[in-house]
A = this chain, B = another copy of it.
Amino acid sequence: MSKDTQLKAARRGIVTPAMAVVAQKEHRSEDFILQGVADGRIVIPCNINHRNLQPMGIGRDLYTKINANIGNSSLTGTAAGELKKLQSVLTYGADTVMDLSTGGDIPLIRRSILAQSTIPVGTVPIYELVARYTRQGLTGENLLTIIREQAEQGVDYMTIHAGLLQKHLPAALKRKLGIVSRGGALIAAHMVENDCENPFYTAFDRILDICAQYDVTLSLGDGLRPGCLADASDEAQFSELDVLGELAQRCRQAGVQVMIEGPGHIPLDEIAMNMQREQAVCNDAPFYILGPVVIDCAPGYDHLVGAMGGMMGAFHGAAMLCYVTPKEHIGLPDDEDVRRGIMAFRIAAHAADVALKKPGARWRDDAISDARESFDWEKQFELAIDPARARQYRTEALQASNQPNLHGGEYCTMCGPDFCSVRLSKILKNSCKK
């Protein structure tokens, strides 16, 4: 008999070691986590073969998590390069990482990543499938082979685009930007070329068997996510979501943990509605959203545009945000792009958590404000979301002002000592105490 999945264990009332770890990290009781997992509101992606994983929970009652994508493209990127990106991802503080490699020795890259990653690792199996067998090899047997191999290696969660069906294609292809999900477009092309149904949909029960065996969490991909504001919240998007809702039910019946992936490009005023709709249609399965970017016209700044949407998504109930980098819509990100993407989304997640008053969420803000008041620059850097960057900027500003001896002083180069409000205010506070 295979091990219980977290979901099956929770239903039997067993607090697993992973649940205990999650409870501690989240400042919640073990019973709270147990109940959340049992109900499917919380998932803990932890493949039984991912040995050095530090378990982490995803659900809207927990801290908002962020995912960073790495992986080469078919044009560029090596295993060594991907491991370097993984180190960045861990250093900069993402909660999960997805390996989206589509070229080179994909199993080797993934094995190296799994060996070194202490955070959950996700994949999109169709990428390896198409890279290995070409699009013509997109059959049920081949995809089960890939999924089984990846599960056996220790992949914690997999995105499969099982909700995009033949019947959705007319609405999808009428759109301004059609199908912008890579997985979705590959499957659509396969369905059109072979006049067949989505093989991930037809093989779904057999996929569930594999996932149950290794406790792979399924992340039901949104192959029809809108790729521009004009396509947001349309028939194609919501028809697929309805299918995802049904598939989520089947996951739970099979004891497989499940989350739902979300849009995409959504204007600010439609974000709350999108979050509520997912919760209703998918029975509170954690919503894992990509951005959403709230405007289309800022290439070069989409990390910021996506983080803005992500913040509002999290505020209205998304559980995890997939980062977007400044190179989105332009090219493959480099290390600095990865850093900026992660930081933008950590900020978005934290802003939502603070606003939602999640337990303990604001301690860091209060502590850094105390450090500001006392001009403890080192403490401010330590508490900063990106300590190295904050320190670097202060050093740069001091150098630009030819006042490097200011370091440690009770003011900064923004105002200088005579105009420093914090310094003045502190003097006033003290004088009024006398």
Chain A residues engaging chain B, CB cutoff 8 angstroms: 73-76, 102-103, 127, 130, 169-170, 173, 176-182, 184-186, 188-189, 192, 227-230, 267-269, 294-301, 304-305, 307-308, 311-312, 315, 326-332, 334, 343-344, 347-348, 350-352, 354-357, 362, 364-366, 368-370, 372-373, 380-381, 383-386, 389-390, 392-394, 396-398, 400-403, 412-422, 424-429, 431-432
Contacts and interface: CB of A to CB of B under 8 A. Distances in A.
A385 B301 CA distance: 9
A419 B73 contact: yes
Nearest to A381: B299
B372 A179 contact: no
B73 A298 contact: no
Copies in the complex: 2
Contacts of A347: 295, 298, 301, 304-305, 308
A403 B76 contact: yes
Given A294-B354, A365-B229, A425 B179 contact: yes
Given A351-B268, A419-B102, A299 B390 contact: yes
Nearest to A424: B185
Given A75-B401, A400-B332, A383 B182 contact: no
Contact of A401 (B102, B332, B392): B332
Contacts of A417: 74
A415 B102 contact: yes
B308 A192 contact: no
Nearest to A343: B301
B74 A400 contact: no
A334 B424 CA distance: 25
Contacts of A398: 331
23 contacts: A74-B416, A74-B417, A74-B418, A76-B400, A103-B416, A186-B419, A188-B424, A188-B425, A189-B424, A189-B427, A228-B365, A228-B372, A229-B362, A268-B352, A295-B354, A297-B350, A297-B365, A300-B392, A301-B389, A304-B347, A305-B347, A329-B414, A331-B401
